[in-house]
Amino acid sequence: MLEHVGPQGYASYFAKIRALLADDGIAVIHTIGVQHKAGPVNRWITKYIFPGGYLPSIGQMIRHTETRGLKVLDMEVMRGHYAETLRLWRMRFLDRRAAMRRLYDARFVRMWEFYLVGCEYFFRRQHGMVLQLQLVKDQMAAPMSRHYIRNRENEFKDRLWTLHLSGN
């Protein structure tokens, strides 16, 4: 979501997170960002796909969290993950190109093909990344390692499976 906020809104965005976060709470911010100077997205994408989009840098995000009294407890940079997601979306889109052409004009279909391949390249070969920041007020809010995340994920999957088996 942060790529929709833009730098003019970062102060209020992170202040709101701090206000809503329990003293022992953990906030996870998931965003698309860049590993170089932050800035608006590509002009073509701004015009046709993502008006007002802005890709923050890691440093820019961290500065705003710190000035709002939040601590970065953990950070994960997922470099190639989104490139692979975009590749799969593009393959599915191309597999259904004939159906897309029945729904939309040829220009629209070409624009989306261009968008998907261009974004895949940006995330695979340039500086694009998906980033997750784990923010806290109290640095002792989470265990010392990431193992608790996997444990909670497995607990959640077990609950879902139990609900599925019970028919709920």
89 falls within a domain: no
Q: Which residues pair with 72 in a beta bridge?
A: 135
- The answer to whether 68 and 15 are in contact (CB under 8 A) is yes
CA nearest to 55, candidates 77, 32, 36: 32
115 falls within a domain: no
pLDDT given for residue 130 in this prediction? 92
105 falls within a domain: no
pLDDT given for residue 80 in this prediction? 83
68 falls within a domain: yes
46 falls within a domain: yes
Per the structure, how many domains does the chain have? 1
pLDDT given for residue 89 in this prediction? 96
Pairing state between β 39-40 and 128-136: unpaired
Classify residue 8 by its DSSP letter. Answer: G
CATH number at residue 156: 3.40.50.150
Distances (CA, A) of 20 to 16, 27, 66: 6, 9, 16
116 falls within a domain: no
96 falls within a domain: no
Give the largest Cα separation in the chain, rounded: 55
Domain residues for the domain of 61 are 2-82+125-166
CA 59 to CA 145: how far, in whole Å? 23
pTM summary value: 0.79
pLDDT tens series, the chain, 168 aa: 788 898 899 999 999 999 999 999 999 999 999 887 777 678 888 898 888 888 898 988 999 999 999 999 999 998 788 999 999 999 999 999 999 999 999 999 999 999 999 999 999 987 889 999 999 999 998 888 888 888 888 999 999 999 988 887
Positions marked catalytic: 119
